[in-house]
């Protein structure tokens, strides 16, 4: 089926493979924020990785491979979600539940609170904030990944930041009978420890 490979194509594949392997941790992290459940997230990341591998000839070496693979992963996530829509009635609420369901006893309390608050954001705000605020993407790159205008990403990120702060301060969720100020306090304290550690 495929044409015989030339040496330069083989070398190019090898270069691509190395770059893809280096991106696996990032892809897993992004998948986790979309799918929530770690096992489902790893399945998603693996599917995206194979899609990227199959499409390697259409990728221009030297351009932003991280953004390109994130875009593939995101498309994969939403097409799977659409496909499973009728079977599982996976709605916004269910997506939020899986995101919130991550209950790692080893993770700092503040992280759990943040996950819960993130679950309360609309999906498009959540992903914009994660790409820019955690993934290290420029607004332009995030816009490309989400297939929308740069201005749209900017406003989504800004709304997400405000909403997140409001949720954390209001304590829009029940958790161990903790008051909202304690939650924000633990986040501030944890951030201080993080910056102190660097």
Binding residues for another protein (CB under 8 A)? 1-5, 13, 17, 20-21, 24-26, 28-29, 32-33, 42, 45-46, 49-50, 53, 107, 110-111, 114-115, 129-130, 133-135, 161, 164-165, 168-169, 184, 187-188, 190-192, 194-195
CB of 73 vs another protein, minimal distance in Å: 13
Contact 40, 15 (CB under 8 A): no
Residue 91 or residue 172: which is nearer to another protein going by CB?
172
Continuous segment of H or E residues that includes residue 164: helix 150-170
**CB-based burial of residue 29 (10 Å sphere; 0-12 exposed, 13-18 middle, 19+ buried)?**
middle
The dihedral formed by the CA atoms of 143, 148, 150 and 152, expressed in degrees to the nearest 10: -120
CB of 95 vs another protein, minimal distance in Å: 17
Residue 148 or residue 184: which is nearer to another protein going by CB?
184
CB of 142 vs another protein, minimal distance in Å: 14
CB of 138 vs another protein, minimal distance in Å: 15
Length of the chain: 198
Chain centroid, CA 111 distance in Å: 15
Continuous segment of H or E residues that includes residue 183: helix 180-197
Residue 11 or residue 50: which is nearer to another protein going by CB?
50
CB atoms within 10 A of CB 14: 10
**CB-based burial of residue 196 (10 Å sphere; 0-12 exposed, 13-18 middle, 19+ buried)?**
exposed
Residue 151 or residue 185: which is nearer to another protein going by CB?
185
Residue 25 or residue 151: which is nearer to another protein going by CB?
25
CB of 87 vs another protein, minimal distance in Å: 25
């Amino acid at each position: 089926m495929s044409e015989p490979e030339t040496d330069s194509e083989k070398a190019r594949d090898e270069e691509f493979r190395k770059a893809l392997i280096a991106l696996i941790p990032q892809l897993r992290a992004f998948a986790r924020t979309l799918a929530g459940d770690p096992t489902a997230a790893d399945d998603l990341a693996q599917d995206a990785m194979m899609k990227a591998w199959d499409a390697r000839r259409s990728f221009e070496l030297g351009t932003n491979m991280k953004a390109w693979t994130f875009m593939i992963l995101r498309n994969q996530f939403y097409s799977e979600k659409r496909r499973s829509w009728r079977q599982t009635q996976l709605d916004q609420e269910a997506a939020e539940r899986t995101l919130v369901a991550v209950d790692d006893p080893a993770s700092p309390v503040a992280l759990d609170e943040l996950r819960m608050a993130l679950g309360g954001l609309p999906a498009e705000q959540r992903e914009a904030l994660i790409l820019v605020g955690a993934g290290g993407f420029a607004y332009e790159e995030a816009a490309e990944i989400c297939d929308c205008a740069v201005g749209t990403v900017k406003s989504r990120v800004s709304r997400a930041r405000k909403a997140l702060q409001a949720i954390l301060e209001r304590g829009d969720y029940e958790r161990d009978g903790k008051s909202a100020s304690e939650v924000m306090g633990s986040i501030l304290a944890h951030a201080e420890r993080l910056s102190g550690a660097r």
